[in-house]
Structure 1
């Protein structure tokens, strides 16, 4: 209650505006919303109550970050990059423990035998991946020699995959299983005998001037790490639980990619490996 005692306005109800879900396929959106609520709840005693407001119109990543810069959004979550950490305050505790960078192809069920024949990265590089036009993943894949169809809309990516206008949609293991279970995606499957692996932490970002909210998010995530609730959360949340146990990937072919968009010093940051606790 220290901040409340020192400053009454701090303990008035804070409004935290966030992005809406990009589509019904984006089921893992709920993971980040629920985690944000948990972080705000665990810090309420020190920072006061907070009300989360979800904006109505779907946003591209470019638009979302623009609204964050113009103070029309308070929190935005996305994969990090040099440019994003230059222009915004990143809360450098990975929200998914690093699982976002373990990518498995989502494919049409009738193409399983085709993907089963892949034994090298070169074979996969000949296929076309649907990927977000403004996502760091597209830059990473192209940098490593993979063919990418850049798509502006998340909803359109799954529509294109269903129409086989691309060959696969690489999704984080924390995302893929929940997304293929969405109504309408019955003809799709997560092909986890193949994995693309690259470092790409998902962070909360706030406006560069919003140091108080940045500190609150940091305090909350650190508290959840310290008491083990963050590990418990990712293990049991409905959208991420299907990825576990992680031992299921021990026989997967893993194609390792370089991420040229990572900020300098990333490898020396604390907490980048908190997912190790999940692997136990």
Structure 2
């Protein structure tokens, strides 16, 4: 009996003293929306990088994909009801009121720089565009629930709202819209996919509005929020996030940013941008300098 007691005490000591690295938790994230969702892997790899960056303090964590895919509105409902632990999306006032936003742009703020994806046969037509007014008479395909659609319409652009991501490229190919504005950080990877041979990224014209992509968590999940904040801050302060972008297959083709210096950039207003957005913190944002309309 004495020997058993000693063994139990030893086991108890090692259980209490075990390093944080042995603790494994699960973080439920969204699955890939479709085969066209090339940027999905970027965010998955970034989350894993953040988790490794904070592993010593918070322990191991693994990502688990939810069983079903969500539209943006349903994904936020899933986040509120704890069917998702983490969701990444462009921010707006309502989202930051209802959820905890990790206010560090995941792509250096470049999500708000949009490249028109067009049919190759329309290349010469788009070459004639010199003002935002000329682009506004054309129709953009855009997500029905994306804040981008509201931003475009607020600034006088015509928008064909589409519910499913995969349908947007299909509608563009069918000529049901003239262009599909995609984030400059995601467009090149998407166009490497199947059935995109007749589409091109017309990066001689860019649309730009302040629209950071953030991680969002349930307001009650403070532990995960703090981990994400600390991990991202560490990556940014060490220059690791920019290096990650320069090397990742999804985003590496946008560099060097100087290659867009001769592009025409049309600036848009985003009135749904929360006042708390850290626009003044230059360490968080990457800049593309072009001629502007």
The alignment's TM-score, normalised by the length of structure 2, stands at 0.89
Q: Which residue in the other structure is 1:183 paired with?
A: 194
Q: Which residue in the other structure is 1:109 paired with?
A: 120
Note the alpha carbon deviations across 1:185-222, whole angstroms, 9 max, x for none: 11100000000000000000000100000000011101
Q: Is 2:292 the partner of 1:260?
A: no
Whether contact under 8 Å (1:11, 1:47) holds in the other structure is no
Whether contact under 8 Å (2:20, 2:58) holds in the other structure is no
| Offset, 1:274 | 3.5
Matched residues in 1 for 2:82 and 2:74: separation? 12
Instruction: Specify the SS of the correspondent of 2:274.
Output: coil
Note the alpha carbon deviations across 1:103-149, whole angstroms, 9 max, x for none: 01000001000100111111100111000111110000000000001
Q: Which residue in the other structure is 2:11 paired with?
A: none
Unaligned stretches of 5+ residues in structure 1? none
Matched residues in 2 for 1:5 and 1:257: separation? 55
Q: Which residue in the other structure is 2:133 paired with?
A: 122
> For 1:70-89, what aligned pairs fall within 5 Å after superposition?
70-89=81-100
User: 58, 61, 74: which is aligned to 1:47?
Assistant: 58
Q: Which residue in the other structure is 1:62 paired with?
A: 73
Cα pair distance change 1:162/1:271, threshold 3 Å: same
Matched residues in 1 for 2:133 and 2:214: separation? 31
| Offset, 1:10 | 9.8
Whether contact under 8 Å (1:94, 1:271) holds in the other structure is no
| Offset, 1:58 | 1.8
Matched residues in 2 for 1:197 and 1:20: separation? 28
Matched residues in 1 for 2:148 and 2:124: separation? 26
Whether contact under 8 Å (1:101, 1:198) holds in the other structure is yes
| Offset, 1:7 | 10
| Offset, 1:169 | 0.4
Matched residues in 1 for 2:278 and 2:231: separation? 23
Instruction: Specify the SS of the correspondent of 1:266.
Output: coil
User: 161, 164, 178: which is aligned to 2:172?
Assistant: 161
Instruction: Specify the SS of the correspondent of 2:193.
Output: coil
Q: Which residue in the other structure is 1:231 paired with?
A: 242
Q: How many residues align?
A: 275
Runs of 4+ in structure 1 deviating by more than 4 angstroms, as ranges, are 4-11
Whether contact under 8 Å (1:94, 1:272) holds in the other structure is no
Unaligned stretches of 5+ residues in structure 2? 1-14
| Offset, 1:228 | 1.6
The alignment's TM-score, normalised by the length of structure 1, stands at 0.93
Matched residues in 1 for 2:18 and 2:79: separation? 25
Matched residues in 2 for 1:190 and 1:56: separation? 33
Whether contact under 8 Å (2:206, 2:265) holds in the other structure is yes
Q: Which residue in the other structure is 2:108 paired with?
A: 97
Cα pair distance change 1:49/1:127, threshold 3 Å: same
> For 1:12-31, what aligned pairs fall within 5 Å after superposition?
12-31=23-42
Whether contact under 8 Å (2:20, 2:59) holds in the other structure is no
Note the alpha carbon deviations across 1:227-263, whole angstroms, 9 max, x for none: 2211100011001011111111111111000001100
Larger Rg: 2
Q: Which residue in the other structure is 1:216 paired with?
A: 227
